[in-house]
A and B are shown apart, each in its own frame.
Chain A
Amino acid sequence: MTTEVEPVSGGNVGMGTEYLEVRRLTVDFDGFKAVSDVDLTLFQGDLRFLIGPNGAGKTTVIDAITGLVPATGSVNKSGVELLGKKVHQIARRGVGRTFQTASVFEQLTVVQNLDIAAGAGRSPWTLLRRRRGMLPAIEDALDTIGLTELAEKPAGVLAHGQKQWLEIGMLLVQNADVLLLDEPVAGMSHEEREETGNLLRRIGGERTVVVVEHDMDFMRAFATSVTVLARGQVIAEGSVAEVQANPKVQEVYLGTAAAGAEGIPDELIEESS
C-alpha cells in the first residue's frame, strides 16, 4: 500500500504481467446462447468495465469465468486453463467475485468474514483452533475498505455500501488477483459511489479488476478501459472515449432506450454525438 500504482488501459506491468485471456467463450442455456464467442484480454493493472444493456450477458460472462455455469471456449489465467475446473478450484487460482446482492455472512462479524475469506488453504489443525489476534492482511484490508472501526460488528448490521466494501475486502484477503465485481455500486449513494470508485482505483493498480456496471457516470469517472456486450457478443472495446464514439454502441443503447430503459443511455448518446 506504499506506492500507489494507478491502473492504466492495457495494464501497467508490461512483460511478465499476470493476465486473463478469454477466448471464444460461449454459454449455451438449452439452445439459447447467452454468451457467444466472447474474447477478452485483461492485463494486471487494468480497470476494465463491462457494460451493455440488460440481458447482454455481462453477469453470465462472470459466471462462466468463475465456474458457476458450464461454458465452452477457453479462459486462461496466466497460463492455467480455468474452464472445466470447479468453482472453489477457480477461486483458489486467484479469481474472486462479488454478487449483485451483497452476500456476506450476516451472522458473523466483519473480522470473521474476512478471516474465512483468507483461509481457503488452511490445514485441518489450524481450522480446529481458535482465531487469535488479527492477520496483518486482514488489518490492511480493513484499512483499505475503511471498516476498521466496525471490525467486531456482525456483518448483518452494516449498511448496504459497507457490505459491498466488505465483499471487496474479502476478495483482497482471499489474495485474488483477478477481481470480478458485479454491479458493486448498485443502490449506493453518491458519496458511497465516489468512495467505491476510489477504492477500485486503489486496488486496481496491482490487480486485474473487471466491473460490470450500469451506471455510465461511474464508468466514465473510473474506467481505464471498457468492453461493451450486447446480445451475448462483444461489440466494442477500448477507452471510454473510443467506446462512446462507436456507432454500434450508440445503436445498441438507442435500441434499448427506445424500448424504455433508464435515462442513462440517452445521456451517453448525447455526449458522444
Chain B
Amino acid sequence: MSDAPLGRRAVLNLLGRWQTWAGFGVAAVLLFAVAPAVLSDFRLSLLGKFLCFAIVAVGIGLAWGRGGMLVLGQGVFFGLGGYMMGMHLKIADARLSKQPVPDFMQIAGVRKLPAYWEPFASPAFTLLAIVVVPTAIAAALGLGVFKRRVKGAYFAILSQALAAALAILLVGQTSVGGSNGLNNFRTFFGFALKDPANKRMLYFIAAAVLLIVVAVVRQLMYSRYGELLVAVRDGEERVRFLGYDPANTKVVAYTVAAFFASIAGALFAPIVGFMAPSQVGILPSIVFLIGVAIGGRTTLLGPVLGAIGVAWAQTLFSERFPSEWTYAQGLLFIVVVGFFPAGLAGLGALFKQVRRRAKAVPPPEPEPAAVADTDPDAEKVGAQS
C-alpha cells in the first residue's frame, strides 16, 4: 500500500526540486544577463539599490511573515552594516590620498582618527564586523526581549524606538558625519567607484547576495525549523507545552533578519554612494515593511518582489509627483495590511481558489474545505486560563 503514494511523492519531490532550480535559473538569467543588457548603467545601479532593499525584505519576510515578529526597526541593522562599510571606505579613501583622516573630518578640523575608527582600516575586520556586530546585537536583544515574553505591539514599538534612537544618536555624532552621514566614497576595496565596470560589479554582488539570501531563507522555511517557527507564530504558548522555549526559535529568525539587513546596508553604501541617519530611522524602517506587506509577507518571493516593486514605483512616481507619492504609498500600505493581509501573493492564491471553485460548480461535489485564511498576526493562544 505504501508503494504508490511513495512513488508519487518522489515524483512530486523531483518536480518540486526541478521547479526550484528552474526558478533560481530564471532569476539568475534575469539579474545577470537580461538586466545588464537592457538597463543603462544608471538604471542598473538603481536596480542594485532596490536589490539591497530586497535583501532586507527577505529577512523581514522570515521574521514577520513566518515568525510573527513585527520588526519595525530594521533600519538599525541596515544602518550598522552601512556605517561600518562606509567607515572602512572613508579610511581607505583617505589612505589613498595620504591623509590621516577622511575628508569630512578635515573640514571639521579633526587631525587624528577617532579610536573606534581605527580597526575599520582593516578590510577583514570590517567584513567580520558587518557580520558579527549586528547579529550579536540582535541575538542579545532578542534573548532579552523574547525571554521576557515581550511580543506583539510592544515588540514593534520597542524595535521602532531603537531605530529612532540610533538615528538621533547618529545625527549628533560629528565623527560619523552627523546628519550628512558618510558619503563621497571613491573606492571599494581598491576598485574606483567612478568606473562603470566596477559599479556593475557591485550590482552583480548585490544580485548574487540576494539569490543566496533567498536560498537560505527557502531552506529555513521548508526545514523543521520553519515549521516550528510558524507554530510559534500561531501558538506560542502551545509550543511551550510541547517542551520548546519559543524565545530561542524567535531569536534565530530575528537574528537572521538582522544579519541580512546588515549585509544589505553594507552593499547599499557603495552602490548608492552614501549612508546617513535618513536611512536608519523610523521612516526607512517602515518603508522596508511596506514592500514586504504588499508582496506577501508569508511567502518566499513576495517580499522580494514587493520590495523591488515599491522601490521602483517610488523612484518612478516620486520623480513626477513627489508629494502625492508619499500619500499613495501610505494608502497602499493601509489597504494591504487592512484588507489583504496576505499581500499580492495572497491575491494570487485567492484567484486560484475562485477559479477552482468556479470549475467545481457544475458537478456539485463535497466542498473541499478551504484552508482558513487567518491573519498570521492574530494571537491564537489556547492557554488562556
Contact = CB atoms under 8 A, between A and B. Distances in A.
Interface string B216-241: 00011011110110110011011111
Contacts of A104: 238
Given A63-B385, A103-B380, A106-B380, A88 B235 contact: no
A40 interface: no
B225 A127 contact: yes
B371 interface: yes
Contacts of B380: 103, 106
A157 B369 contact: yes
Interface in B355-385: 369-372, 374, 376, 380-383, 385
28 contacts: A60-B385, A86-B245, A87-B241, A88-B243, A88-B244, A96-B242, A99-B238, A99-B383, A103-B235, A103-B381, A103-B382, A103-B383, A105-B231, A105-B234, A106-B374, A107-B230, A108-B227, A112-B227, A115-B227, A116-B227, A119-B228, A126-B224, A128-B219, A129-B223, A129-B224, A131-B224, A157-B369, A174-B243
Nearest to A122: B224
Interface of A: 59-60, 63, 66, 68-69, 86-88, 91-92, 96-97, 99-108, 112-113, 115-117, 119-122, 126-131, 154, 156-157, 170, 174
A156 B243 contact: no
B242 A91 contact: yes
Contacts of B370: 157
Contact of B240 (A88, A119, A127, A156): A88
A127 B228 CA distance: 9
Nearest first, the 5 A-B pairs at minimum CB distance are A103-B382, A120-B243, A91-B243, A99-B382, A92-B243
A128 B223 contact: yes
B240 A87 contact: yes
Nearest to B368: A157
B230 A105 contact: yes
Given A99-B238, A99-B383, A128-B224, 19 more contacts: A59-B385, A91-B243, A96-B241, A97-B241, A106-B372, A106-B374, A107-B230, A107-B371, A107-B376, A112-B227, A116-B227, A119-B224, A119-B228, A121-B243, A122-B224, A126-B224, A127-B224, A127-B228, A157-B371
A91 B238 CA distance: 11
Contacts of B231: 105, 108, 112-113, 116
Contacts of B225: 127-128
Given A115-B224, A120-B243, A131-B227, A105 B385 contact: no
B227 A68 contact: no
A126 B227 CA distance: 13
B372 to A, nearest CB: 4
Contacts of B239: 116
B234 A106 contact: yes
B242 A130 contact: no
A98 to B, nearest CB: 8
A163 to B, nearest CB: 10
Contacts of B381: 103
A116 B225 CA distance: 9
A122 B223 CA distance: 13
B383 A68 contact: yes
A63 B370 CA distance: 34
Interface string B192-230: 000000000000000000000000000110111101101
Contacts of B385: 59-60, 63, 68-69
A96 B244 CA distance: 12
B223 A130 contact: yes
Contacts of A115: 224, 227
Contacts of B244: 88, 120
Contacts of A119: 224, 228
A16 to B, nearest CB: 25
Contacts of B383: 68, 99, 103
A219 B245 CA distance: 35
Contacts of A120: 242-244
A44 B273 CA distance: 69
Contacts of B219: 128
A182 B61 CA distance: 36
A116 B242 contact: yes
Contacts of B220: 128
A36 B346 CA distance: 51
Contacts of B245: 86, 88
A105 B229 CA distance: 11
> Which among A59, A87, A131, A170 has the highest number of chain B CB atoms within 10 Å?
A87
B374 A107 contact: yes
Given A112-B227, A128-B223, A91 B241 contact: yes
Interface string B88-113: 00000000000000000000000000
